[in-house]
Amino acid sequence: MNRRAPSANLVLFGFMASGKSTLGKLLSSRLGMGFIDADEWIENQARKEVWRIFAEEGEARFRDLERQAVSHAASLTGTVISTGGGVPLHEGNLATLTASGVPFFLDVTPEVIFSRLSGDESRPLASHLENPDDVKKLLDLRRPFYQTIPNRIDASTRTPAELADEIVNRFRALAGECT
Ligand code: S3P
């Protein structure tokens, strides 16, 4: 069966280190769709890394750039969009992206997140997360936002390839684009 690339976007949400960028690239090649990573887009626009934007211009400036990244990504079609972990917390972002395609929430336990984040100095909001309990506290604050995202994927234990299988199947059914 021939499949054409869907015109709806596929949007990945989730906490830091939930696998959005890795999975986004894999899904774009599996589905023959474009790919955009919101943080990479911001870094290209600002010509500096995310941690440096936070350090030199503050979080408010980063969130402003993030809103611009969301508007740009939502204007695309047939694209897999990997968002930053804070995207759904800020006014309008979730609605804008959901209107452009099919959203998925990658749900990962605090223990797994903590093990992936340890030693990572590129994430400004991760530097204060010293144990799984710190991660749980931040995740609990954010959970009300993440819980509004349709299509939850349990992403703690399965490999990216296994997760991609499930998301591809669910996306094709939801986007209704099989030919
Ligand atoms: C953030 C997550 C980061 C990045 C920025 C803020 C957050 O992206 O956008 O450091 O608020 O959770 P990842 O989710 O890719 O780490």
Which domains are assigned to the chain?
9-172 (3.40.50.300)
- If you average pLDDT over residues 95-103, what whole number do you get? 97
Q: What pLDDT is stored for residue 153 in this prediction?
A: 98
* N-terminal to C-terminal alpha carbon distance within the chain: 7
Give every CB contact of residue 36 below 8 A, 6+ residues apart in sequence. 72, 73, 76, 79, 80, 81, 82
Q: Which atom in ligand 1 lies closest to the alpha carbon of residue 82?
A: 15
Q: Which atom in ligand 1 lies closest to the alpha carbon of residue 89?
A: 11
- Rounded to the nearest whole angstrom, what is the distance from the C-alpha of residue 162 to the centroid of ligand 1? 24
% of the chain residues with pLDDT over 70 = 96
- Structure tokens given for 50: 């995310």
Q: Is the CB of 43 under 6 A from ligand 1?
A: no
Q: Which atom in ligand 1 lies closest to the alpha carbon of residue 125?
A: 10
Are the C-beta atoms of residues 9 and 174 closer than 8 Å to each other? no
Least confident of 1-15, 60-74, 128-142: 1-15
- Rounded to the nearest whole angstrom, what is the distance from the C-alpha of residue 164 to the centroid of ligand 1? 21
pLDDT tens digit sequence for 38-92: 999 999 999 999 999 999 999 999 999 999 999 999 999 999 999 999 999 998 9
